[in-house]
Structure 1
Amino acid sequence: MEMKRVVEEAREAFESRITRSYFWRSSQLRALRDLLVEKEAEICDVLRKDLGKHYVEAYRDEVGFLIKSVDYALGNLKKWMTPRKVDLPFVCFPSTGAVVPEPLGTVLIFSSWNFPIGLSLEPLIGALSAGNALVLKTSEFAPASSSFLANNIPKYLDNKAVKIVEGGPVTGEQLLEYKWDKIFFTGSSRVGRLVMAAAAKHLTPVCLELGGKCPAIIDKLKSSRDMMITVNRVAGAKWGLCSGQACISIDYILVDEKFAPVLIDSLKSRISMSYSDTKNVARIAQMQHFERLRSFLKEPEVAASIVHGGSLDAKSLSIEPTILLNPPLDSQIMKEEIFGPLLPIITLKNLEDSIGFIKAMPKPLVIYAFTKNESFKKRIVEETTSGGVVFNDAMVQFACDTLPFGGIGESGFGKYHGKFSFDLFTHGKAVLRRSFLIEFGFRYPPWNENKLQFIRYLIRFNYFGLALMLLGLKKS
């Protein structure tokens, strides 16, 4: 279908007001859930084709995660749609006030290739819950997943209000020429800047879900059990989550120099146990990205810092889980987001110096910290800035519907997941209703001292305080 017609049909569907009802929103969410349940095997298969993901990883991170998100939205949708009553000042008496949630209109969603189903449908859940029509641009770098969505979404969802568009950068540029009521983009900061520039021409609000170098601070852990759990969680967040190709993946580790050897040995053991079999590790998505990661390791000083792994297979687009110890801080691997299975470990003489280290870097999407030191935790929260902070685990924050997910600064802006997704695609309309019963003359000229004093009282007292004062029961 011609691009112009795609956009027009979505806009016409929204203007028809069909998307505003609870029935339409809930029916679309239930249909989406049916798609996920009925097409589970097919979804996991296309994720294997695009990224080499194991069935369990594909279900955990995309199918199961999305079913949970849909169920949460369905369970809370009526409450989210209900206007919220608010208190009003005495100057408005007698009146009532409310914030009425209404859909923004027709929105554009750009998906990403690393979680091509999850990062397409998670924002879509929010847009549908909020009652919008939408156009979803899938990623050309995950062709099997893109084709699956293009073929199946129209079979399950309202194909007038929900449009799927496939294509590359040219298609994206064409879509950005139209005026939208919201643009949601997941991807690199480079492309994010282009999206913002295009959106600025129409004053379109934008949500950017980017990435950045997410650090993990690892404190000395005396308990062998705590150490084992930490290593499990760190390894899972690096090599067990799309082979590190995730914005929330651990990008590098900060650790006390005396503790580093113990940590490295433990990580090596974990790799051998869980990630040495290529069936358990996703492959690199595309040759261009593979070559970018290989170029990191070609720098002589970076290559010299490898303490485990480092082998690459261009034919299968696979890279061995790799650990590097103190690569140069001015190397590309320490300046760019890695987005792959390479894990630099940076040692510090004093672990509390990690706060200064992180503050000197662009603001990350997430800071992970494995520690039992409560004062250190407090310092991390109070002295650093990031999209979020997670203590003693990694990745799990993405699955929490009651926590906002999103970045700050270079890692993006705008929050989603759960109610935050609903709010992201919703306009809170202020509605005030007042009667003709009472009219206050102090609002209008001619001005005098009595009116000024009355206005001062209005500012000084709440409704009840002023009422008592006027009744003579309370002194000013």
Structure 2
Amino acid sequence: MGLTSRRTAPPRASKQHDDGVGRAPTVRDVHVQLRDASATRLMHTRRMRALQLKALGRMLVEGEQELLDALAADLGKPAVEAHLTEIDLVKHEVDFALLHLSEWMEAHHAKIPMLLQPASAKTEPQPKGAILIIGAWNYPVQVLLGPLVGALAAGNVAALKPSELAPATSAAIARLVPRYLDRRAVQVLEGGADVSAELLGLEWDHICFTGSQRVGRIVAEAAAKHLTPVTLELGGKCPAVVLDGNLHAAGRRIAHGKILNAGQTCTAPDYVLAVGQGMEKLPEVIHRAFVRFFGRDASASRDYGRIVNRKAFDRLVGFIEDAEIDRSVRVIGGGYDAETLYIEPTILVGVDPEAAVMQEEIFGPILPILTVASLDEAMRFINARPSPLAAYLFSERPRPHSVFEDQVRAGAIAFNVCNMHAAVSTLPFGGVGASGMGNYHGRYGFDTFSQLRPVFSKTALVDTLKIAYPPYRKGKTRVVRSVNLGSAGRQDVDVKPGDKPGM
């Protein structure tokens, strides 16, 4: 993502920003400004948080066409798809956060062990401070502004680094954000690997990065130098296991999940494991779904996107060419056009598990289908590889659901559908292991960008702690050890702040 480009354009926040003398602010200028705003508690009040969230919502409505045009220019994204997977998803996150903001900001009372009474305790969410959000090119609106919703709701200020691999969208966001959001609270920095590296060299209170595992390691290493917590959304090879049920419905849903954004989706089914006999028709079923979606020539469809750039295109074509050379592999589709960065929805049947296409996330409209003998074999296949961002099982039987849920390690599990869990604000979105760490969406985004701070209060009018002071004679030791400080049982009393403690 942001660290992979060799572009050397000078860092900038926006053409509209300046420091009063006509000079565009540098990365360090922006960092200092955001640090100052955080120190003044600019975003701590509910009113300020709500104002910025509402402004972000207005930006998505009033700047909608500008964003749609940019997404079409960068990825050939159809307007309906751009609405559903980018703009509308962030709008929903904004509305959801505004609806629940007061509830999320509330302190929660905690129980106090009897030995420590009279006292009161609570936990209260506090803003972490200055947040760095580094976006990805495949969903350049959603994965940049989605985390911003959680950061603003939690009362933070934020620096946004859009992906330079989606230049039109990056420029659109850099133009729109300062028109709507308080420039003290949110700043946009465009640029390539040099800007990302400079940002990562500075101290932030949290970093949220979406992108590849390789770059995720770079981000984590840079953050470790400042002991900065990170949220990493890294993708991986998400499997779809087809066991039983409506084969035609499964085929359509796998096809739809795979081909969204021309396959450039981190939760897309990366490969299919067809279990047992009776699955011979599955490749044709999925292929017919592709034809139904886009016609026999997907290049003529207004609803089908394009590959982001020539580098990604050449890599994907290499997978197709390798499969065509291997006579044991059946290629369904496989057409492409370098001039328009078009790759036809393609199915590879009978791929060797050790083939290059099975060693890394495909991130394109190519779907390998492998056959396995049983669900157990499918789960062993999945678990022998790095943990994916999501794993899908197509079956109508409860028992396989239970077994799959229990034994497969993935960022998310979904049954009989692909990708949909990522659109639900009441579910956390995030990976595990190689597919990432941390999560966001809805309340989970608020919690990610908050410090859950404990507050403990005890009166000193009467020193009831004398029983715990040295010297520890036999009787005192017996009394102290008889009380479990960590217990939440009968001996605990829930005293709320404001209650008058008994003596």
**TM-score (norm. length: structure 1):** 0.94
1:72 aligns with 2:99: no
Shift of the 44–259 alpha-carbon distance from structure 1 to 2, 3 Å rule, reads farther
Deviation at 1:257, TM superposition (A): 4.6
For 1:61-460, what aligned pairs fall within 5 Å after superposition? Answer: 61-221=85-245, 226-239=246-259, 241-276=260-295, 277-278=298-299, 279-299=302-322, 304=327, 305-436=329-460, 437-459=462-484
- The answer for the alignment partner of 1:470 in structure 2 is none
Does structure 2 conserve the Cα–Cα contact (< 8 Å) formed by 1:301 and 1:328? no
Does structure 1 conserve the Cα–Cα contact (< 8 Å) formed by 2:258 and 2:367? yes
Does structure 1 conserve the Cα–Cα contact (< 8 Å) formed by 2:211 and 2:234? yes
Does structure 1 conserve the Cα–Cα contact (< 8 Å) formed by 2:244 and 2:396? no
Distance in 1 (alpha carbons) for counterparts of 2:309 and 2:51:
37
Deviation at 1:300, TM superposition (A): 5.1
The CA deviation string for residues 77-122 of structure 1, in whole angstroms up to 9 with x for no partner, is 0111111111121122011111111110111110000000111100
Distance in 2 (alpha carbons) for counterparts of 1:415 and 1:300:
36
Shift of the 462–167 alpha-carbon distance from structure 1 to 2, 3 Å rule, reads closer
Deviation at 1:456, TM superposition (A): 2.8
The CA deviation string for residues 264-323 of structure 1, in whole angstroms up to 9 with x for no partner, is 121121111113333221100011111111122232566542331011110000100000
- The code of the aligned residue for 1:109 comes to I
Does structure 2 conserve the Cα–Cα contact (< 8 Å) formed by 1:96 and 1:434? yes
Deviation at 1:259, TM superposition (A): 2.8
Does structure 1 conserve the Cα–Cα contact (< 8 Å) formed by 2:386 and 2:434? yes
- The answer for the alignment partner of 2:3 in structure 1 is none
Deviation at 1:453, TM superposition (A): 1.8
Deviates more, 1:123-132 or 1:276-285: 276-285
Does structure 1 conserve the Cα–Cα contact (< 8 Å) formed by 2:220 and 2:230? yes
Does structure 1 conserve the Cα–Cα contact (< 8 Å) formed by 2:234 and 2:266? yes
The CA deviation string for residues 350-399 of structure 1, in whole angstroms up to 9 with x for no partner, is 23311111111111110111101211111111112111100111111001
The CA deviation string for residues 186-227 of structure 1, in whole angstroms up to 9 with x for no partner, is 000111111111111111111110010000011132xxxx33
Deviates more, 1:262-271 or 1:329-338: 262-271
Shift of the 210–367 alpha-carbon distance from structure 1 to 2, 3 Å rule, reads same
- The code of the aligned residue for 1:119 comes to V
Deviation at 1:466, TM superposition (A): 8.1
Does structure 2 conserve the Cα–Cα contact (< 8 Å) formed by 1:352 and 1:376? no
Does structure 2 conserve the Cα–Cα contact (< 8 Å) formed by 1:302 and 1:328? no
Q: Secondary structure at the match of 1:184?
A: strand
Distance in 1 (alpha carbons) for counterparts of 2:166 and 2:430:
23
Q: Secondary structure at the match of 1:258?
A: coil
Shift of the 102–52 alpha-carbon distance from structure 1 to 2, 3 Å rule, reads same
Task: Pick from 42, 47, 51 the counterpart of residue 75 of structure 2.
Answer: 51
Distance in 1 (alpha carbons) for counterparts of 2:159 and 2:275:
48
More helix by share: 1
Distance in 2 (alpha carbons) for counterparts of 1:268 and 1:294:
19
- The code of the aligned residue for 1:5 comes to D
Does structure 2 conserve the Cα–Cα contact (< 8 Å) formed by 1:215 and 1:250? yes
| Percent identical residues | 38
Does structure 2 conserve the Cα–Cα contact (< 8 Å) formed by 1:217 and 1:254? yes
Shift of the 251–17 alpha-carbon distance from structure 1 to 2, 3 Å rule, reads same
Distance in 1 (alpha carbons) for counterparts of 2:473 and 2:492:
20
Shift of the 114–462 alpha-carbon distance from structure 1 to 2, 3 Å rule, reads closer
Deviation at 1:41, TM superposition (A): 2.0
Does structure 2 conserve the Cα–Cα contact (< 8 Å) formed by 1:13 and 1:161? yes
Deviates more, 1:271-280 or 1:178-187: 271-280
- The answer for the alignment partner of 2:59 in structure 1 is 35
Shift of the 303–271 alpha-carbon distance from structure 1 to 2, 3 Å rule, reads farther
Distance in 1 (alpha carbons) for counterparts of 2:262 and 2:408:
27
Between Structure 1 and Structure 2, how many residues are aligned?
462
- The answer for the alignment partner of 2:4 in structure 1 is none
- The code of the aligned residue for 1:449 comes to K
Q: Secondary structure at the match of 1:280?
A: coil
**TM-score (norm. length: structure 2):** 0.89
Shift of the 281–76 alpha-carbon distance from structure 1 to 2, 3 Å rule, reads same
Higher relative contact order (CA 8 A, sep 6+): 2
Deviates more, 1:418-427 or 1:372-381: 372-381
Deviation at 1:448, TM superposition (A): 1.8
Deviation at 1:261, TM superposition (A): 2.0
Distance in 2 (alpha carbons) for counterparts of 1:350 and 1:290:
35
Shift of the 181–352 alpha-carbon distance from structure 1 to 2, 3 Å rule, reads same
Distance in 2 (alpha carbons) for counterparts of 1:431 and 1:303:
65
Structure 1 stretches of 5 or more lacking a match?
Answer: 468-476
Q: Secondary structure at the match of 1:204?
A: coil
